[in-house]
Structure 1
Amino acid sequence: MTSASFTVVDWVIFGILILFSGVVGIYYACCGGKQKTTDEFLMADRNMSVLPVAASILVSFQTAILILGQPAEMYTKGTQFFLSLIGQLGAVFLATTLFVPLFYPLKLTSFFEYLEHRFDCKAARVTATSIGIISTVLYSGIASFAPSTALSAVTGFPEWLSFTLIGVICAFYTFLGGLKAVIWVDAFQGIIMLAGILTILIKATLLVGDWGTVWRINDDWGRINFWNFDPDPTIRHSFWSLVIGTMINWTGPYGASQQSTQRFGSLPTLRKAKIALMLQSVGLIVIVTTSCMAGVAVFAYYVMKGCDPLTNGDIQSSNQIIPTFVMEVLNYPGVPGLFMASLYSGSLSTISSNLSTLVATSFEDLIKPFVRKKSDRVHLWITRILVLFFSAAGIGMSFLVRNLTGTVLQASISILGSSGGALNGFVVLGAFFPSCNRIGAITGPIVSYAIMLWIGIGQYSVIGVPEDFRFPTENCQTGNLSSMVSNFTMSTVDSGLMSTTPVPMVPEDNLTGLNRLYSLSYLWYSTLGTIIAVVIALIITYITGPRDAEEVDKKYLLCLSEKLSWLVPSCCGRNSYSTDQKIKGRTGQDNIVFSNLEERKTGGIMEKGSSHTMELHKMDT
């Protein structure tokens, strides 16, 4: 498909689907509460429905990278990456079991507020907020890279205008409609993403014949390779890294991050918050399975054709596999427009989620203490100005990304992942170690962040032995697709995975010392970062003097024995409630915040209270 083949019909479909986002923003600016308070603007009045929130949580973490990178990973490396879905589902379970019951009752607008209350330390909150803001702004710029370069290659649409368009659209509906608009647009964009990838899967399968033929071809070419139990952490993908490493990577984002807590905090009850997080796992299964199957089907198509465009040099990156297939096979009026809309939807959902996250954290953690006495109307306009500021910052970052080479760009993605261990460390220290003091809580994550940045950058000086996969080339004619994709020089990541430009190979036997450390699989980054943060923090705590655990309010802590007590049969003497779960409130506040606001039951009765009243309500069973 050349630029000329992006027809008027494609532009109309593309335009309608993208402009819908702006319409939603206008709707929520004119209806309902009209976003007149910061609580409505930032938290949707905590009265959203389960389904759109579940969809928003899903697409907040599934970007255009899913549409381009995950099929490319399956195409080039086989089916092993699909096991990461098990790890993600495990992360959803842990997040729902541990972190949602911990954070939801606290009614946080900024997730990092928890750190200040837990450690009685403003510096801990500001440190975590700073790490989160830097990482999110950087990722916002990168998230718009894939669809912008794709649209430029397909239509000749200028990249700089595409970057700006994404930022302006996100700023528009977030500025007008707040979190309500972001959540509803996310839900719509999730449908568009799924439609785009389903179209590719169905067409490729039909061209090959049927799914049985697709699977047989991939098996013949050595692509059906799920099980690698080698425990070596330098192996890019193994069962352990894909399941355990992925589970640790995703537990924080799903249960202990601003993106997730802001969304499940917009729901009216704890029960609905849990349902939303578990329900999004259904969408996760569908969209990840579909994108992985699409990569398998497209590989089978190129085997039958007898020429892999990547090996033949027709394209420069595996990320171009899916756009190339669309250009070559799906050149029907409207279909290219749908595909480009699905790419844009992935980026818009991520960037708008990042905008709402940045606004909430920066206002609550950095600005609000200085304007606390101002009216809520002033607070509302400050948050809207922040939307414009961070949108401009994201656009500016996109222009910087545009000028980076492939390896440097991929290194910046790796640097983003390095922040996960530090932020997870804050949460683990706060929730599981009551004796950890404020000095340790700040020092450990900072050291972790610095070390993981160093490892992430060093990784690009070492590349191990490449995996030996065959590609079809018997019918190749050099340059048969180059005219269509010559401008398509996208250098994003493969499903969040690193693919670098060639550098000198280091034999596997020589991976010693720093080279071996730099060769650590990216899937273990968050795990190693969390371990470093916790160990350093506990050492510093021991040196400087641990905090008295009795001083820490129980509502800020997690007791694993209590959370896992449901596994113990009642005949073994398991009590319904831990004696540690006492009704406690924040001094100086009108409302008592319970450690389990909605789940505290006694004979079918739920207890709710305030400093003035204590009422008994029948449980809604």
Structure 2
Amino acid sequence: MVGDFSIHTGVKREFGILDYIHFSLLFVLLAAIGIYHAYKDRKNFDVKHFHLGGRQMHPLLVSFSLVATFLSALTVIGVPAEIYTYGTMYIWLTFGLFVATAGAAHVFLPIFYHLNTTSCFRYLQLRYGTVIRLMVSIMFILQTLLYMGFILYVPSLSFQAVTGLSLWGTMIGVASVCTLYTLLGGMKTVLWTDSLQLIIMFAGLITLLIMGSAKVGGFSKAWQTASEHGRIEFTDFSLDPRTRHSVWSLGIGGGIFWSFLYGVNQSQVQRQCSLPTLRRAQIAVWLNFPGLVLIITLACLIGVVMYACYSECDPVKFGLVDKADQILPLMVLDVLGTTQGLTGIFMACVFSASLSSMSSGLNAMSAIVTEDYLKHFCFKSLSGKRELVFSKLIVLVFGFVMFSVAVIISETDSLVILQLSYSLYAILSGPMFGCFIAGMIFPWTNKHGALAGLITSLGFMSWLGIGALVNRPPGTKPLPVLTDGCNWEVTRTNSSITTVSSTPQSNLSISSVTNEIETDEAIVNNFYRMSYQWYPAFGMLTNIAVSLIVSFITGYTDPSTVNNKLMCPLFYKMFPCLPAKFRHYLYFGVNYEIETSDKKHDEKLDEEVSLFVSSDKCRRDDVCV
């Protein structure tokens, strides 16, 4: 037996008064920050101040927010569950994060920053026209609402597991506070609350890692236990795309997915563009990288310790909890529950991870609806206080929709939450990312090709994602677990768990399994078994390929006519050692010799914007404001 755990003693830890106080203090501080900025900026009616912080934010503050935005409760809870169930290959995602950081800072950010716009989807209008802009922005809103529903549900489920309180009541309270402080303070509040939440995340994860390691006899002991049971694995170099996690799927596939998140996702682009200069924005992006690596690494190490804690009695197989995603909250009670107040701090850590993502999403969707729909179509004269009021009302509406999505998710019987949310999110990520890549890297792409590429890739990704969920072909099996160390039985009353001492149970461990992939099944099942880490890459490449083919068939765009501010000479930058006479061809015919600071060139870009706007006038004046 390992340590002094409730899983062995039959004693269930409880959420104490001090835990509730520490947990509640988080929400009080968040609301206070929102109220403070609302009062401080009460006379400022500039909507760009609400969405971009007046472009006067500090790089360190923005970098904290960038780290916190997408490292939600799905990371804090899901990654340890991933290590517990499948092993440590997930740590290779840190290489993918490096690729994504470099791409965001030096490929995408310069283009978006020089556009000087609130919505990153304005780029698509300048490059392809209105149809693509609206389609992709709608996809982003649907994707973000789905993601926010998950990250509201996951920590609320964990809170229910450790307190027994109502799941719906928790979700209502969290959604209300998050919507309130986002609505009150805008971007400034989001950045400051994200920074506070990131500090709490680090404190919670480090505390759990240290105390959990102490409980099992030190981290080296935990590592040894995990290694003996096959949880330590770093050398899966399989090239088979059906391999769930390999060096290539995590390093390349994961890198492409995170390049989408940090390169062209409205939530992140909006933060990056809140800085006064491009140089500072790039510094903020790079400062965010160590934080990303540290959070992922801490979560993976906690997964190792978590396995050591329950190596002799798997809580899921034994029936103490329903799924692997609930093991971490159980561990928190077992490890931190002996000290009053620590459990509350860690649950604040879990909710901090989700609140940062939710507030960023609410602010981003408000900016998109205001810029891409209200002002673009019928409310062209919308400005000042009136525009600010509309933006805040949109935050309120999306806060309610977010809660509704979380309720729907809570009523479903899902797979492992981390993989399910990633898969569904990635179905839309690849096609969306492909639109930006085809426009920024390949100057020949025209609006017909972009539309065909988007529809085709979205169709393929929907087929892949839905087919995999419906058919559920056999994939990588979880690693073996044991229950022969359990010496008590579990009874349930409503949502609470009651434990009663019992005689030792029989060994219910999973028989020896293999991760080898069968080759004699139908081809379509092999397609469905593609690793979810490759979903964004597959969608992106499909989009680019179809976009270029259709563009050349329908009459490709002349590269010399494309504004160089809308392009990135990626291949030119990737091969600096090539002779100049050959390297010049990697410009693909785009004229990059015009300096971006040239006033005439800037005026030409502004003229293009005006032409697009004027071409989209409402056909009936009586519906325009």
TM-score scaled by structure 2?
0.86
After the TM superposition, which residues 333-348 of structure 1 pair with which residues of structure 2 at under 5 Å, given as runs?
A: 333-348=340-355
- Runs of at least 5 residues in structure 2 that lack an aligned partner in the other structure: 1-5, 499-514, 585-590, 610-625
1:350 aligns with 2:375: no
2: CA distance, partners of 1:482 / 1:216: 34
1:46 aligns with 2:55: yes
Secondary structure of the equivalent of 1:233?
Answer: coil
What amino acid sits opposite 1:91 in the alignment? A
Change (3 A) 1:3 1:224: closer
CA deviations 1:397-438 (Å, max 9, x no partner) are: 122112112249875652221011011111111101211111
Aligned to 1:585: 602
1:313 positional shift: 2.6
Aligned to 1:208: 216
* Alignment partner of 2:434 out of 408, 425, 436: 425
After the TM superposition, which residues 214-613 of structure 1 pair with which residues of structure 2 at under 5 Å, given as runs?
A: 214-303=222-311, 306-331=312-337, 332-369=339-376, 370-407=378-415, 414-460=423-469, 461-467=471-477, 469-477=479-487, 479-480=489-490, 508-564=518-574, 579=593, 581=595, 583=598, 584-587=601-604, 589=606
CA deviations 1:372-416 (Å, max 9, x no partner) are: 223321111110111111111111112211211224987565222
Secondary structure of the equivalent of 1:307?
Answer: coil
**CA RMSD, aligned part only?**
2.8
Change (3 A) 1:173 1:188: same
After the TM superposition, which residues 114-129 of structure 1 pair with which residues of structure 2 at under 5 Å, given as runs?
A: 114-119=123-128, 121-129=129-137
2: CA distance, partners of 1:591 / 1:366: 19
CA deviations 1:23-47 (Å, max 9, x no partner) are: 1111111115755210100110000
1:150 positional shift: 1.6
Kept in 1: contact 2:152–2:406 (CA 8 A): yes
2: CA distance, partners of 1:468 / 1:589: 55
Change (3 A) 1:146 1:567: farther
Aligned to 1:495: none
1:567 positional shift: 6.2
Kept in 1: contact 2:13–2:334 (CA 8 A): no
2: CA distance, partners of 1:536 / 1:478: 59
Aligned to 1:29: 38
Secondary structure of the equivalent of 1:479?
Answer: strand
CA deviations 1:127-155 (Å, max 9, x no partner) are: 11111111111222121111111222222
Aligned to 1:198: 206
After the TM superposition, which residues 86-165 of structure 1 pair with which residues of structure 2 at under 5 Å, given as runs?
A: 86-119=95-128, 121-165=129-173
Kept in 2: contact 1:3–1:153 (CA 8 A): no
1: CA distance, partners of 2:127 / 2:51: 23
Secondary structure of the equivalent of 1:276?
Answer: helix
What amino acid sits opposite 2:71 in the alignment? Q
1:559 positional shift: 0.7
Kept in 2: contact 1:110–1:364 (CA 8 A): yes
2: CA distance, partners of 1:472 / 1:307: 5
1:51 positional shift: 1.1
Identity %: 33
Change (3 A) 1:485 1:319: farther
What amino acid sits opposite 1:39 in the alignment? K
Aligned to 1:492: none
2: CA distance, partners of 1:61 / 1:567: 36
CA deviations 1:291-335 (Å, max 9, x no partner) are: 1101111212333xx322233232221111111111223212111
TM-score scaled by structure 1?
0.86
1:210 positional shift: 2.2
Change (3 A) 1:481 1:566: farther
Kept in 2: contact 1:434–1:552 (CA 8 A): yes
Tell me whether 403-412 or 279-288 shows the greater mean CA deviation. 403-412
What amino acid sits opposite 1:78 in the alignment? G
2: CA distance, partners of 1:515 / 1:591: 47
2: CA distance, partners of 1:354 / 1:38: 17
CA deviations 1:318-367 (Å, max 9, x no partner) are: 11111111122321211121122112111111111110110011110011
Change (3 A) 1:33 1:265: farther
2: CA distance, partners of 1:180 / 1:393: 23
CA deviations 1:524-565 (Å, max 9, x no partner) are: 000000011111112221222112222211100011244346
